[in-house]
Amino acid sequence: MRSSGRACHDAAVSDRIVLNDMVFQGRHGVSEAEQRTDQPFHVDVEMVLNLQPAAVEDDLGRTVDYSAVFEVARTVVESTSYRLIEALAEALAQEVLRAFPPITEVGIRVRKPKAPIEGTLGWAGVEIWRQRLAR
């Protein structure tokens, strides 16, 4: 998902965990029909964090369990409803940062293959990047 020319904000850490093309059913969109009827949403999550401690110790407890991230993404997409996929992406980013303290930065891509557009379109989507705010 890395944008062309995009560099990680934390020059000391460039490690990433990537979940690519998760597919969930959700009710997101501006129209009433989109709010009533499930449709597929494809989600990518890219998490920046230091993976060295987990790698050296070969210890899941020293990293982020990507199956738990998958479940967080599923819950956000499937249990809430947003008019805009921008809002859905923001909710995903905030929930991932809240739930997984080791993550310093997260990138979210949401794709909507059944966007209500007259014409040929593979998908409509958004990509956002958010950093953990310093405490």
Q: Which two tokens stand for residue 43?
A: 């989600």
To the query of whether residue 112 is one of the catalytic residues in this protein, the response is yes
Strands 105-112 and 39-48: antiparallel
Cβ proximity of 14 and 8 under 8 Å: yes
Rounded CA separation 130/93 (Å) = 7
Q: Pick the closest to residue 16 from 28, 30, 6 (CA basis).
A: 6
Q: Pick the closest to residue 115 from 66, 55, 42 (CA basis).
A: 42
Q: Which two tokens stand for residue 84?
A: 């805009």
Give the active site residue among 112, 115, 117, 125.
112
For residue 135, how many other CB atoms are within 10 A of its CB? 3
Active site residues: 112
